[in-house]
Amino acid sequence: MRIFVKPLLVLPLLLNAITFVNAQVPGTSLAMTPPMGWNSWNVWGCNIDAQKIRDAADRLVATGLAAKGYNYVVIDDCWQGERDAQGELQPNAKFGDMKALADYVHSKGLKIGIYSSPGPRTCQGYLGSQGYEQQDADTFARWGMDFLKYDKCSYKGDDYTAYKIMADAVKKTGRPMLLSACNYGKQKVWQWAAELGYAMWRTTGDIENSWEQMKSNGFSQSKLAEYAGPGHWNDPDMLIVGHLEGRNGRTRPTKLTQVEQYTHISLWALLASPLFIGADLTKLDQFTLDILSHDEVLAINQDPLGQQARRVYQIRRDDIQVWLRPLSDGTYAVGIFNLSDEDRTGPDSLEFNLKTLGFQGDITVRDVWKNQTLNAPKLRLQIPAHGSVLMRVTGTLQPK
Ligand code: GLA
C-alpha cells in the first residue's frame, strides 16, 4: 500500500523537530538542578581503593544523604593502571574489576563517576586519555560509568578542542554520562563548556581545607552568575566539611569553624553550586550531617529556576556582603555575610534594612537555618566574624 503524506502535514512535523533541537538544554538534561554527591579527592587523594568507594556508597545510603539527593559517587584521580596491548586502559590493583564496582554502586541506587585528563598524564602522573579519547569513553561506558570528571592537568593547548573531543566521544558511546570540566576556570570555560554538553565546570583553582581558600573560591563567583542555569553550572569546587585530608592514612576534621561551615554551605546553596561532599563518610558527625542535609537549604541550592546568586550590596569593601538569589516560587534567598574578623554581635550587631536592596511593601523574612521569622524590613542581626545569615524573603523587589 502506498502511504501518501500531505506536504502540509509534514511541515509541522519538521518544525517540531527543529524546535526540539533548539529546545535542547545547554549542558545536559541530566543536571536540571546542581549535581550532588561524593568525590574521593578531598579526603583520600591518591590513598584510594575500591573498598573506600564501596564504603562511601554504603554510607551515603545509611546516613540518609542519598535520599537527600547526594547520588553520585565519584572516583577522582589515582585509579588508573597501564594500557594493555590493545591500548585499553586498565584500573590499578587497588581497584580490580571496575564493572563490579559500578554494579555495586548501582545496586545501592546510586550513580558512579570516574576521572581522566585530556593530557598524556593526570595531575598525579597517572595515564590520561590523550590520543585514546574514544577508546577510554567506550571503556567507561562499558564499565557503567554515569559521570566523567575531565581534568586538564598535563594538557597543553586549546581547551575547547580537547574538551570537545571527549564530549563527542562520550556522546558516541550512547551512554548518558554527566560531564564535569575541570580546567580551573581557564580560557573562559563558562562561555563554551555548556554548548559542548558539560553540566558543570570548575571556575577556580582547587579548594584547600582553609577559610581563606573557601572564601576566595566562593565569594568571587558573582560575575559568573549569568552562565549558570538548568543543565549547566559554575563549580567553585567541592565541600570542605567533615573529616578530610586522609592522603597519608589519617583524616583530620575540617579546619573551618562551625560558623564558617554555615557560611560555606549557605554560599554554595546561593551559588547553585554542585554539592560534592569530600569527607570520610564513615566518620560523619551529627553536626556535619545536619548541615549537609538541611531541607530548606538544599531546596535553595536545588531550586528549579536555577538562577545563581549575585552580590547585590557591600559595606566597607568586603566586610559585609549581601547576596541575592531569585527562587522559582517568587521568593528570594538572601545571604548576609560578615567576612571581617570582627564579631557583629551584642552592641555591635548589624542593622540592615531590606529596603536598601529594593524590597517594597509587605516583607516577610525567615532565617532558614534557625527556622525563625525575623522582623522586616529592618533587620538587627547577630553575625560573628566569618558568619552569615541565610534568609528566605517574601516581598516585592524593585531592583535598584
Ligand atoms: C586537580 C583537580 C582536583 C583533583 C586533582 C587530582 O588538582 O583540580 O580537583 O582532581 O587534580 O589530581
**Residue pair 215/321 in contact by the 8 Å Cβ criterion:** no
Options 58, 76, 146, 151, the catalytic residue: 151
Whether 97 is a known active-site residue: answer no
The β-bridge relationship of strands 320-326 and 310-315 is antiparallel
Atom of ligand 1 nearest to the CA of 122: 12
**Phi, psi for 370 (deg, rounded to 5):** -90, -10
Q: Read off the C-alpha cell for 124.
A: 598525579
Query: In ligand 1, which atom is closest to the CA atom of 124?
Result: 12
Q: What is the pLDDT of residue 9?
A: 45
- Substitution site in 48, 76, 121 for ligand 1 pocket (most atoms within 8 Å of beta carbon): 76
CB of 200 shorter than 6 A to ligand 1: no
Q: Is ligand 1 within 6 A of the CB of residue 206? A: yes
Q: Which pLDDT score, from 0 to 100, does residue 318 have?
A: 67
Q: Is 78 in the pocket of ligand 1 (CB under 6 A)?
A: no
143 CB near ligand 1 (under 6 Å): no
Q: Is 235 a pocket residue for ligand 1 (Cβ < 6 Å)?
A: no
151 as an active site residue: the answer is yes
Identify the residue whose C-alpha is closest to ligand 1 atom 3. Answer: 206
- What pLDDT, on the 0 to 100 scale, is given for residue 70? 98
Q: Which of 49, 168, 206, 367 is catalytic?
A: 206
Global model pTM greater than 0.85: yes
Residue carrying the nine cell digits 584500573: 91
The protein residue whose alpha carbon is closest to atom 12 in ligand 1 is 123
Å from CA of 305 to ligand 1 middle:
30
- Sorted by sequence, the CB contacts under 8 Å of residue 396 that are 6+ apart come out as 359, 360, 361
Find the 149 Cα to ligand 1 centroid distance in Å.
Answer: 10
Supply the residue whose CA is at minimum distance from atom 1 of ligand 1.
123
Q: How confident is the model at residue 317, as a pLDDT?
A: 66
Residues 6+ apart with CB under 8 A from 379: 336, 350, 351, 352, 353, 354, 365, 389
Q: pLDDT truncated to tens, each residue of the chain (400 aa)? A: 444 444 444 444 444 444 444 457 889 999 999 999 999 999 999 999 999 999 999 999 999 999 999 999 999 999 999 999 999 999 999 999 999 999 999 999 999 999 999 999 999 999 999 999 999 999 999 999 999 999 999 999 999 999 999 999 999 999 999 999 999 999 999 999 999 999 999 999 999 999 999 999 999 999 999 999 999 999 999 999 999 999 998 999 999 999 999 999 999 999 999 999 999 999 999 999 999 999 999 999 999 999 999 999 998 766 999 999 999 999 999 999 999 999 999 999 999 999 999 999 999 999 999 999 999 999 999 999 999 999 999 999 996 6
Cβ(333)–Cβ(390) under 8 Å?
A: yes
Query: CA-CA distance, 272 to 303, in Å (whole number)?
Result: 8
Q: What's the gap between Cα 399 and its chain centre?
A: 28
Dihedral in degrees, nearest 10, Cα atoms 104, 106, 109, 112? 110
